[in-house]
Amino acid sequence: MKKLLHNRVAIVTGAGGGLGRAHALELARHGARVIVNDIAGATNGAAARAVVDDIRSVGGEAHLHLGDVTRAEDMQAMADQAMTAWGRIDILVNNAGILRDKTFAKMPLDDFRLVLEVHVMGAVNATKAVWAQMQNQQYGRIVMTTSSSGLYGNFGQANYGAAKMALVGFMQTLALEGMKRNIRVNCLAPTAATGMTHGVLPPEVLAKLAPEQVSPALVPLVVEDAPTRMIMLAGAGSFEAAHITMTQGIHIADEACADAGELLCDRLADVQDRSGELVPQSGWAQYEHELKKGMPEQELAS
């Protein structure tokens, strides 16, 4: 097997179990040196310690970091630990997360805020802690964990879906900002059985959704020739890509604008028609697309 990540330094948050554990082991298997992060909790990080031991038992390099992703100072300490141990940070996998599922009508706002805090601000804190170092070394690979619940919605997960879609927007902008410094940023949308999904899915389905079936999807997102701005979907040994697209749409001439709302009601199917849809390379693409339809080319150029 090729050591695709030989001597790369990786950080995985929430790596004490489930997907995080599988990610840490997969990165180590490909030669990465891994900071295994998890919250201390009631067991003082026993599960994360076991992951470190598993990596070391087969000759890999790993260190434990116990810290809370919602605390910026903990994430900075995690980055500092990686720098002290190995002198660089090549890979960050933002995996830490929680569930607080209820229908929106029954969901306490505190549960909504907590899920956003862990998933979104947790990823922000961890990424902020490594960003300057990745800029300085002109190299970085960052993965955000999104979800089909954010991309497509899922009943009873308004908080989780909002958080996971926020991470897609975070990824899209960081990928643009990091491009000139060779920092590539992607998303992984896993379908896996973890501690968060037990009790949600039936046993026969859980058996097919081992986290180990997802973690190989991480590898192409963090190697040297990784893409950037990709949304990789993975589960049960299957792998797909998701895209945020824009239709060709329609243009309503200025003289018809007084009736634009009524015209849109009549032509909504044309607006939604996916023939020739675009995958914008940045938010500016929407401005360009709309202006080109409504302005003569010479005016647009001036």
d(CA 193, CA 209): 5
Q: Which of 139, 152, 160, 287 is catalytic?
A: 160
- Alpha-carbon distance 105 to 123, whole Å? 27
d(CA 23, CA 37): 12
Rounded distance, CA 164 to CA 144, Å?
9
| Residues 6 or more apart whose Cβ sits within 8 Å of residue 172 | 229, 244, 282
Any idea which residue has 């895209």 for tokens? Answer: 243
| Amino acid at position 5, single letter | L
Q: Which of 299, 143, 151, 148 is nearest to 229 (CA)?
A: 143
3-class secondary-structure state, position 196? coil
Give the E-state strand segments of the chain in sequence order. 9-12, 33-38, 62-66, 91-94, 140-145, 183-191, 231-235, 238-242
Which phi and psi angles does 29 have, rounded to 5°?
-60, -30
Residue 139 among the catalytic residues: no
Is the separation of the CB atoms in 191 and 148 below 8 Å?
yes
Residues 6 or more apart whose CB falls under 8 angstroms from that of 295 comprise none
Inter-residue contact 149 to 102 (CB < 8 Å): no
Reading phi first (left if > 0) and then psi (alpha if -120 to 50, else beta), residue 12 is in: beta
Longest dimension (CA), the chain: 73
Q: How far is the first Cα of the chain from the last one, in angstroms, to the nearest whole number? A: 56
Q: Which residues are catalytic?
A: 160
